[in-house]
Amino acid sequence: MCQKKANIINEIMNCCGMPFFGVAPFDALASSLIQCGAKRRLPAAAKSVITAVFPYYCPCPSGEISRYARAKDYHIVAGEKLNNAAAMLREKFSEYKFEPFCDASPIPEVTAARLAGLGDIGCNGLLITPRFGSFVFIGEIVTNLELPECENPGGACNACGRCVMSCPAGAISPLGIDRERCVSNLTQKKGELSQAQRTLITKADTIWGCDICQNACPKNRGIETTYIAEFKNNIISTISGKDIDDENFEQNNSSRAFMWRGKEVLKRNLGILHGTPDNNIFEECKNQNRSL
Ligand code: B12
């Protein structure tokens, strides 16, 4: 029976464009659930977390938009696939519940993917998969159906420390990611930033997100290009002030992750990047960035 269930899940996940998936036991995640509004959608007596990765790496011109936000918003792309699969699973196993989540999820997704056998957790806190490196998104379907667990694929992170050394904010340590210093987080904050925070954004040369720790990772060399069409097409790597001032900018980019905080945040970041850096403050920040 177990094998039969696993075969049906396999068929449905493949049919919905999610061939890279595994199953994590819900119990192993229950004590580290993330507090968020989506938590109320968790099925009662959840047993299994069908976890999928969505590779997004594709060779494209470099720019100040981080890779994860260059194509169509992954919440939409992965969300569609997860919704379709959940609907098919509900039809097949009508007495069970299936709830899809992606990012805005109570599930600590990196840990779930690790437990589902999809890869290892790097020192930068990200899932590193054998074929697509860390350039993958994660999404999951939580169910009260008990499913066989997956094998651990073995370690991929050698703890070489390159991600730790590369981070301009010193945000990566054995304690995890200090999100208050992480440049990705700084670029997504609304409102005024301190001079030290602005200097970090200048140093990272980004207006949305940050890929520095991933670019430094040797496990991201020679990885496969994504097979997901939406992540290969209509790539936007860079945005100018003129683009943002266009009256149709918001409408034209409404399905892009970089629009999440509104165009004022992008405008501010662009201003930071193209403003004149204050070298004294930069030096001061470099020496004291642990107290940011
Ligand atoms: C909040 C958040 C952020 C915040 C804070 C990040 C952080 N690490 O704290 C900010 C805005 C900074 C951020 C940035 C980014 N994020 Co983010 N983020 C999230 C979010 C929504 C929640 C993360 C969270 O709070 N986890 C809970 C905490 C407690 O977990 P944790 O810090 O990872 O620690 C646990 C694990 O490390 C685990 N663990 C450690 N070692 C081991 C070993 C074993 C064997 C096991 C089992 C577990 C384990 O134990 C810890 C405690 O539970 C997740 C989506 C989600 N629902 O999980 C996406 C998510 C982690 N982010 C993602 C991405 C893509 C990014 C960026 C790369 C985007 C970018 N290019 O700018 C950066 C990367 C920065 C970085 N190095 O982390 C992806 C990661 C995909 C991947 N390959 O891992 C996720 C999963 C979103 C998604 N659905 O795809 N993010």
Give the tens place of pLDDT for each residue, 130-177.
999 999 999 999 999 999 887 777 668 999 999 999 999 999 998 899
Collect all residues with Cβ–Cβ distance below 8 Å to 4 and sequence separation of at least 6. Answer: none
Question: Of 109, 143, 177, which closes a domain?
Answer: 143
Of 79, 109, 143, the residue at which a domain comes to its end is: 143
Q: Is 152 helix (H, G, I), strand (E, B) or coil?
A: coil
Whether 15 and 134 map to the same domain: the answer is yes
Q: Which residue has the higher pLDDT, 173 or 290?
A: 173
Q: Tell me the whole-structure pTM to 2 decimals.
A: 0.94
Question: Do residues 135 and 11 both lie within one domain?
Answer: yes
Q: Mutation test of ligand 1: which of 56, 111, 213 has the most ligand atoms closer than 8 Å to its C-beta?
A: 111
Total domain count for the chain? 2
Q: How far apart are CA 198 and CA 193, in angstroms?
A: 6
Q: Are residues 182 and 272 in the same domain?
A: yes
Q: What percentage of the chain reaches a pLDDT higher than 90? A: 87
Three-class SS state of 252: helix
Residue 195 has pLDDT above 60, yes or no: yes
Q: What does the alpha-carbon distance between residue 152 and residue 117 come to, in Å, rounded to a whole number?
A: 4
Does one domain contain both 171 and 124? no
Residue 171 and residue 91 share a domain: no
pLDDT digits (tens, 9 = 90+) for 200-258: 999 999 999 999 999 999 999 999 999 999 999 999 999 999 999 999 999 999 999 99
User: Which residue, by CA, sits nearest to atom 31 of ligand 1?
Assistant: 125
Q: Do the domain assignments include residue 121?
A: yes
Q: How confident is the model at residue 262 (pLDDT cuts 50, 70, 90)?
A: very high
- Which residues span the domain enclosing 172? 162-223+234-291
Q: 121 and 9: one domain? A: yes
- The angle formed by the CA atoms of residues 63, 120 and 217, to the nearest 5 degrees, is 35
Interval between CA 120 and ligand 1 midpoint (Å): 13
Contact 121, 136 (CB under 8 A): no
d(CA 212, CA 79) in angstroms, rounded, equals 27
| Catalytic residue check, 103 | yes
Tell me how far apart the alpha carbons of residues 181 and 120 are, in angstroms, rounded to a whole number.
24
Backbone angles phi, psi at 48, to 5 degrees: -135, 150
- Report yes or no on 156 lying in a domain: no
Angle 74-92/2-15 helices, nearest 10 degrees?
A: 140
Query: Residue 281's pLDDT is what?
Result: 45
- Strands (E) across 144-208 are located at 172-173, 176-177
